[in-house]
Structure 1
Amino acid sequence: MEQNQTPEPKNNSRVLLIVALILVLLGINGVLFYMNQQKGKQNEQLTADVKAKDVKLEEQIKQFEALKADFERQSQEMQGMGLANDSLKNRIASINADLLKLRSFRAGSFSITDQKRFRDRAANFERQLRVKDEEIAKLKADNEALYTETTTLKERQNKLTDTISTIARTNQELSEKVSIASRLQAENIRVNVINSRGKEKDDEKDEFKAKRVEKVKINFNLARNDVAPKETKQIMLRLIEPDGSALYNLSTGGGTFMVDGAEAFYTSKQELVFDNTKQNIQFVYAKGAEYKPGPHTIELYADGYLIGTTKFTLK
């Protein structure tokens, strides 16, 4: 009986050792589990921090892109007003440089310091943007006021030009009327013929024998004209034969003058001072050859205008 009870203490020790070992293993597993949990939380936090930095970086990039777009808008508005915009070009270049730096950051490398630096730069650009917007708004208002003033002045100028044109047209019309009214007029035109013996004949039918005509005598008066200036006038006589040609001979006082912008021949010319006294004027013309039978026309001119005409016939 005593020999059979001896091994019991050894068995108890073994059991205790196993239990202790199990407890130690459980403790180690607990510690490892805890450490894994902490590491997982740290990794989650790091991932969250990286994501937060990436979000801040994206927001900052979008902010600078918006600033660039606004400065480009301002640049276009300045160009639209025909104004220089070198300062805006410099700001756009600075923003492009900042965007290049922002896009060069690796994931999670956008630090708090970087965030503050670019946030401050963005704030400074926004202040400049507001100041420039105010300046552009004032320039636009000034331009609109100037445009309104210029438009008003142009309208007044156009009205004044129209008024001046109307006055000039009226003056021109009046001048033309005065010019027409001041034209001389020949009245009481009479034609006589003188034969080789010096005898003068005044046929009531205005018909004469051509072969007996030595000279043609034309008498007329200058009608009264209170508008015509009292000045020297040249009176031209054109004696037109039946074939339509005007008698013209330099040796007998003939020449050329302008009628309605064209050159014409005259038969004889006299110069006198018009005095508005119904002056009597006389032309005596000797052809120096036999006259042609048929209807002849007498035309009288002054200042390039026809002032009187009559006809006579040679048989």
Structure 2
Amino acid sequence: MEQQQAPERRNNNRWLLLAALVLVLVGINGILFYMNQQKTKQNEQLAADIKVKDTKLEEQIKQYETLKADFERQSQELQSMGLANDSLESKIASVNADLLKLRSFRASSFSVADQKRFQQRAQNFERQLRQKDDEIVQLKKDNEMLFTETQTLKERQNKLTDTIGTIARTNQELSEKVAIASRLRADNIRIGVINRRNKEDDDDNNEFKAKKVEKIKVTFNLAQNDVAPKETKQIMMRLLEPDGAALYNLSTGGGTFLIDGNEAFYTAKQELVYDNTRQGVQFVYAKGTEYKTGQHTVELYADGYLIGKTTFTLK
């Protein structure tokens, strides 16, 4: 009886061992399944974290690109106003350096500390941008005001220039009129001749015999002129022969002077102080040789302009 129970016990033990082994395997599989589940969750969480970091990194890069564009805009606005922008160039260089660092990051290595650091720097840049924008707005207002004031000053200057030009032209015209009005005039011009015996002869028709003429005498009065200044005047007398040549002799007081900018010979000259009293003036000229026959002309000048003219004839 005992021999029959022994095999049954061994069989029961085998089944127990087999059941235990199955339980152990089920337990191991459960543990492995649990560990796989945890690993999957960790990987999913890691992937989600990397995705968030990648999004943060992209947002940060875009923020810095916007900052760079805004600083460059400010730089161009200042340049358009002709202002220096060294500080903006420095800020643009700093933003470029930060952009280079951000683009070198991998999402997995972009830590929370990095995010905070670059975010703080970006906020600081944005604050500087707002301050500079306010400065530029004020500068534009100042420039517009200055432009308006400059335009107003230019208009006033142009009007003043026109007024000064008008006054100058008026003064010039007045000066020219005064100069013309102040010119002397020879009145009552008379011609006489003196022969070798020092005897004087005159003729209302101003006709004389050439052979008897030793000297020519010219007398006249300076007409009254209230505009002409009372000052020393040089009176030139030109005696022109029938062929138009002016008689002159340096040894007897002849010389040259300017008529309308051109050099001309004068026969005689004398200085006097014009006193506006119709004072008389006299020229006596001796040629020293025989006079030519024909019509002679006497021209009288003062200050380079003609003040009187007459003719006489020698037969």
Taking only the aligned residue pairs, the percentage that are identical comes to 77
Aligned pairs for 1:194-205 (under 5 A) are 194-205=194-205
User: How far is 1:301 from its partner?
Assistant: 0.4
What residue in structure 2 maps to residue 101 of structure 1? 101
CA distances 1:111-142 after superposition (whole Å, capped 9, x unpaired): 11111111111011101111111112112212
1:156 aligns with 2:150: no
User: How far is 1:73 from its partner?
Assistant: 2.1
Aligned pairs for 1:36-51 (under 5 A) are 36-51=36-51
User: How far is 1:39 from its partner?
Assistant: 3.2
User: How far is 1:90 from its partner?
Assistant: 2.5
Aligned pairs for 1:1-315 (under 5 A) are 32=32, 35-315=35-315
Verify the 8 A CA contact 2:298 2:311 in the aligned structure 1.
yes
State the AA in 2 paired with 1:174.
L
User: How far is 1:283 from its partner?
Assistant: 1.1
- Structure-2 separation of matches of 1:131 and 1:257: 78
- Structure-2 separation of matches of 1:314 and 1:73: 98
SS of the residue corresponding to residue 161 of structure 2 reads helix
SS of the residue corresponding to residue 57 of structure 1 reads helix
- Structure-2 separation of matches of 1:44 and 1:200: 146
User: How far is 1:266 from its partner?
Assistant: 0.9
SS of the residue corresponding to residue 108 of structure 2 reads coil
- Structure-1 separation of matches of 2:235 and 2:270: 5
User: How far is 1:296 from its partner?
Assistant: 1.7
- Structure-1 separation of matches of 2:210 and 2:65: 110
User: How far is 1:268 from its partner?
Assistant: 0.6
- Structure-1 separation of matches of 2:295 and 2:47: 127
CA distances 1:246-290 after superposition (whole Å, capped 9, x unpaired): 111122111222222232211011222212122222211110011
- Structure-2 separation of matches of 1:260 and 1:77: 62
Q: Which moved more, 1:304-313 or 1:88-97?
A: 88-97
What residue in structure 2 maps to residue 3 of structure 1? none
State the AA in 1 paired with 2:201.
K
- Structure-2 separation of matches of 1:288 and 1:33: 155
User: How far is 1:306 from its partner?
Assistant: 0.7
User: How far is 1:22 from its partner?
Assistant: 7.2
SS of the residue corresponding to residue 174 of structure 1 reads helix
Verify the 8 A CA contact 2:57 2:107 in the aligned structure 1.
no
TM-score, normalised relative to structure 1: 0.87
SS of the residue corresponding to residue 88 of structure 2 reads helix
The answer for unaligned runs of 5 or more in structure 1 is 1-6
State the AA in 1 paired with 2:277.
T
- Structure-2 separation of matches of 1:87 and 1:70: 14
User: How far is 1:165 from its partner?
Assistant: 2.1
State the AA in 1 paired with 2:234.
Q
